Amino acid sequence: MDFDAHFRSELDQLKAEGNYRIFAELERRCGAFPRAANHTGEGLDEVTVWCSNDYLGMGQHPAVTGAMKDAIDTCGAGAGGTRNISGNNHHHLVLERELADLHGKDAALLFTSGYVSNWAALSTLGSRIPGAVILSDAGNHASMIEGIRHSRADKVIWRHNDWRDLDRKLKAVGDRPKIVAFESVYSMDGDIAPIREIVEVCEAHGAMSYIDEVHAVGMYGPRGGGVSEREGLADRIDLIEGTLGKAFGVVGGYITGSVALCDFIRSFASGFIFTTALPPAVAAAATASIRHLKASDAERLAQRDRVARLRARLDALGIPHMANDSHIIPVMIKDPVKCRMISDILMNDWGIYVQPINYPTVPKGTERLRITPSPLHTDADIDHLVTALAALWRHCAIAHAVA
């Protein structure tokens, strides 16, 4: 077989469909977020980033960068290995205690990313609990889907955010160990799960509740514990999973829960056992970020103000964006070629970076620009973005929203 010919054919098909992905070569500038340098091949252009998951700009916060620098000076760059062999570090344990406290749990366990924490935890639970069945929300992230698939446990898909459908399907499962996996904030549509109803259904059927809070930690709740903290439900959820790579501004993933649950995952999850640990400096930076956001609401309040202002400006011009109660603003294009073209024009002509979102991240026909305002976007930044979008809507003949 001519493997390269096959690879080229598959890539050509992606390009023909408009789903081939092109990544910008950006260089984040500490202290200048949301500005970044765009390496064009002909030099550097300054762009304003509107699609970062560093939702609160904590990746450049002095407390976070200072903690990382101090830890590098103290511990060096790397962890030295897997935590099972030579990479367990004091900074890891301090961070796990901080995370357990954030969610009101007895224990926490670190992973190298939010993807890995979902994959490892769900695959371990599903494979190591005899007779387990996992009931998964239809909108769950790829990391959850892969973890469930890898577990080889029986699975049941329930309609997105439909707790009544979940209730019916839990009844149908019968007297078996049941794990209900869902998210709080869904990253592409920005909708929020009816957590209270889901938890009550889980409790009624004796099911383990597993919530992914990756797009909510740092963002919601009086201390940034996520939507489950905001709703006063964290203590009723068995496992809360999150990330350090979004609102906390660093990298890594984690789970929190009972001591027995976290120790069980630690002892059996291949995604924990066989991978190099996070660098101590990353753990120290994440600890500093979490501690800051536990005490400070200023970043969250400013970010909500920016979201509300941008939504109001888009509404005034009839530019369609998906309604939701979160910080994520999906501006719907519904065509992969137009979505790519608009993204390119925004970057090249307006100095605005918004990466197009297309299949397989979202279903075909729902392509979009996913905009995430930060506390550091100014009124002038918002005006510039809205002016650019309005001009492109006319130029590209995209339908306006109907009032």
CB 110, CB 96: distance < 8 Å: yes
Count of positions (residues) in the chain: 403
3-state helix, strand, coil in the chain (%, to 5): 45, 15, 40
Which pTM was predicted? 0.95
Query: Both tokens of residue 158?
Result: 């329930």
In the chain, which stretches have pLDDT less than 70? Answer: 397-403
Our measurement of the distance from residue 117's CA atom to the centroid of its chain's CA atoms, rounded to an integer in Å, reads: 12
Predicted local confidence at residue 42, as pLDDT:
82
Distance CA 267, CA 168 (A): 34
Helix H or strand E segment including 339: helix 336-350
pLDDT at residue 402 in the model: 43
For residue 137, what is the enclosing H or E element? Answer: strand 133-137
pLDDT of residue 195: 98
Q: Determine phi and psi for 216, rounding to 5 degrees.
A: -120, -25
Determine the pLDDT at residue 397: 62
Which residues have C-beta within 8 Å of that of residue 168, sequence separation ≥ 6?
A: none
Note the pLDDT of residue 178. 98
The residues carrying an active-site annotation are 246
Return the DSSP state at 276.
Answer: B
Within a 13 Å sphere around the CA of 216, how many CA atoms are in the beta-carbon half? 30
Torsion of CA 184, 34, 373, 331, to 10 degrees: -100
28 contacts 47 by C-beta, under 8 angstroms: no
Question: CB-side exposure of 22: number of CA atoms within 13 Å?
Answer: 13
Cα 283 to chain centroid distance, Å, stands at 18
Task: Return the pLDDT at 398.
Answer: 63
